[in-house]
Amino acid sequence: MKRNLACWPIALALLCGWGGSGAGANADENGHRIRIVREDAQPAAARVSIIGADEQPIAPTGVSLRTTARGQSYFYADELFVVPANTRPIHVHLSGGLETLPTRVTIQADSPIEITAQLRPWIDMAARGWYSGDSHIHLHTGGMLNVSVADALLAVRAENLNFANLCASNVHGDDIHDADLITGRPHPLSTERHLLVFGEEMRSMIYGHMQFFGIKSLVTPQYTGFDNTPQHDDYPANGVMAAEAVRQGGLVTYGHPLFTDQPNPFSGDLAAPSGAARELPVDAMLGYVQAVDLMSYNSDEPLSAELWYRLLNCGLRLAACAGTDALLDRSTDPLGGSRVYVKVDGPLNMQSWLDGLRRGRSFVTNGPMLQLSVNGHGLGDTVSLDRSGSVAVECTVESHVPVQKADVIVNGRVVHSRRLGAEPVAADVTVRRFKIEVPVERSGWIALRVTGPDHPELFDGPAWAHTSPVFIEVAGRPIPSAEDASYFVEWIDQLLRVVAARNRYSSAEKRQEVESMFREAQEKYRTMAASAP
């Protein structure tokens, strides 16, 4: 449904001064000219939506419109764009990503005018050492929109995304896109604040989809189990490619782990294709994966988090990550609408960001910003206790979209819920801080989760954010939970039944190779279940 921007509950329009001509103007000079600047008056890029008097979308001449899942049309603009002046009023909505307040300009003029629209940040995460990323972006997928790396940079700047993992991948068959752009270094068009790094999405028809960060060359095979392709078989297992990505110095995360209304990814026809992260528990146990995409436009966040909790309860230190699966050459929701923030030591670069994610110094969000410490230790750290007792947990939630509840989670269970009342520190921004004591009886982990209602400024709503854990070690004992380890013993049994039902292998030896890898991980879970308290 088309939405009239004039009715949206967003920030008041900023109509700044008038100015002369500048870079980025459209060839059509007869319309309204709108300049985009940051708070320091420097030129900026933005995501722009324009609605005319007839409530239909408008775009500058020659600009392709994309449409979000909410039905809102948008395009990206850099510094200056021109709006056709053939109707009034014209409602212009500008966004600079999750860290800016939306800006609205309404034009009533009959003849062309020039306006400067200022993007107002409500928070500056980079100033605190936290840099945002999206694990799962595709530049080329065979879509109808003609896009280049420069277009990706414009989108990344407009959304204020610091690390874009642009994934080489196939779509339906063997048409692999952008593999030649993988170098293990940021693309030359990258800036100090916006890194464009080409990675890979490895796609299996039954084991799950993985994203590789920081690899030096395409990991092959890039896909398995696709009909009428050279990779028709379900061979090798995902772990083989994940291990190669790690050997190259890369980091591995699983995309869209579980889908809405599908808590059991093995229900239905076992031979049917599935994009759920079925092999994740295997690869996590064998050390081939370092993170999990808790947020994606194509997955269910609460279900994915519950799966992640069980893996954490088995002592597997997997960082919280996020990947939208945005397709830049098609009409999809923008990149970075859900994202991961990573704490970086020193200046931002590819390696420092990946090191922070690998260490679990991360949180994921589609709007709210989170802070969590336990006994003064931050995300990814370990708090060591000589004996059971209690720990001091400090939480901060900052948001410009409504949030309702903060949950402190210990070993997958909510131990404290806090209703988030408004404590505004600036217009349209709410900050809530609280401290609690949490009893700790055994080794485990603590994390913070925040939820809220849907909102027009959110993609992949309702509001949702989650930190990586702070780990607790009591008397040097391990974390493992017998219940959760047993859960994955049965999970892998079901995965083996999928292998048997599909039976798409060129030889019995190759099927046995896959099954052997799965059983190796299963035996580790079985041993854990037998020895855990």
* Residue 474 maps to a domain: no
DSSP for 358-395, written as a single string: HTT-EEEESS-EEEEEETTB-TT-EEEESSSEEEEEEE
Q: Of 121, 140, 169, which closes a domain?
A: 121
Using alpha carbons only, what angle is made at residue 337 by residues 323 and 459, rounded to the nearest 5 degrees? 115
| Residue where the block lists tokens 């069980």 | 310
Contact 95, 109 (CB under 8 A): no
* Residue 475 maps to a domain: no
Distance CA 65, CA 57 (A): 9
**Residues 148 and 241 both lie in one domain:** yes
Q: Of 414, 442, 468, which closes a domain?
A: 468
Q: Is the pLDDT of residue 84 over 70?
A: yes
**Residues 217 and 161 both lie in one domain:** yes
Distance CA 145, CA 68 (A): 15
Q: How confident is the model at residue 13 (pLDDT cuts 50, 70, 90)?
A: very low
Residue 11 or residue 46, greater confidence:
46
What's the confidence (pLDDT) of residue 533? 73
Contact 216, 249 (CB under 8 A): yes
Domains of the chain: total: 3
**Residues 377 and 323 both lie in one domain:** no
Relative to beta strand 103-107, strand 464-467 is unpaired
**Residues 352 and 386 both lie in one domain:** no
Of 64-68, 231-235, 403-407, the poorest mean pLDDT is in: 64-68
Q: Is the pLDDT of residue 4 over 60?
A: no
**Identity of the residue numbered 56:** Q
**Residues 310 and 206 both lie in one domain:** yes
Relative to beta strand 120-121, strand 163-168 is unpaired
Distance CA 120, CA 428 (A): 11
Retrieve residue 344's tokens.
């970086």
pTM of the model: 0.93
DSSP 180: G
Polymer length of the chain: 533
* Residue 340 maps to a domain: yes
Question: What residue numbers bound the domain in which 250 lies?
Answer: 130-365+480-533
Retrieve residue 391's tokens.
């720990």
Q: How confident is the model at residue 62 (pLDDT cuts 50, 70, 90)?
A: confident
What's the confidence (pLDDT) of residue 323? 98
**Residues 140 and 197 both lie in one domain:** yes
Burial 214-234 (b: 16+ CB within 10 A, else e): bbeebbebbbbbbeebebebb
Retrieve residue 48's tokens.
């722009």
DSSP 330: S
Q: How confident is the model at residue 423 (pLDDT cuts 50, 70, 90)?
A: low
**Residues 61 and 84 both lie in one domain:** yes
* Residue 473 maps to a domain: no
- Domain CATH code at residue 450: 2.60.40
Retrieve residue 479's tokens.
């974390």
Helix axes of 301-312 and 482-502: crossing angle, nearest 10 degrees: 120
What's the confidence (pLDDT) of residue 25? 44
Retrieve residue 317's tokens.
């230190």
Phi-psi region of 297 (alpha: psi -120 to 50; beta: other; left: phi over 0): alpha
**Residues 337 and 438 both lie in one domain:** no
**Residues 257 and 165 both lie in one domain:** yes
- Domain CATH code at residue 491: 3.20.20.140
| Residue where the block lists tokens 């930190």 | 467
Distance CA 211, CA 198 (A): 11
Residue 27 or residue 110, greater confidence:
110
Phi-psi region of 208 (alpha: psi -120 to 50; beta: other; left: phi over 0): left
Distance CA 250, CA 503 (A): 31
Mind listing the pLDDT tens digit for each residue in 166-207? Answer: 999 998 889 999 999 999 999 999 999 999 999 999 999 999
CA dihedral in degrees (29, 32, 36, 39; nearest 10)? 140
Contacting residues for 366 by C-beta, under 8 A, at least 6 apart: 98, 295, 337, 338, 339, 458, 459, 460, 461, 463, 464, 465
Distance CA 156, CA 23 (A): 19
Mind listing the pLDDT tens digit for each residue in 268-327? Answer: 899 999 999 999 999 999 999 999 999 999 999 999 999 999 999 999 999 999 999 999
Distance CA 242, CA 254 (A): 10
**Residues 523 and 449 both lie in one domain:** no
**Residues 352 and 372 both lie in one domain:** no
What's the confidence (pLDDT) of residue 14? 29
Q: Of 436, 468, 500, which closes a domain?
A: 468
Contacting residues for 327 by C-beta, under 8 A, at least 6 apart: 138, 141, 143
Relative to beta strand 90-95, strand 45-51 is antiparallel
Mind listing the pLDDT tens digit for each residue in 458-513? Answer: 998 899 999 999 999 999 999 989 999 999 999 999 999 999 999 999 999 999 99
CA 159 to chain centre: 13
Residue 299: closest CA among 316, 275, 327: 275
**Residues 372 and 330 both lie in one domain:** no
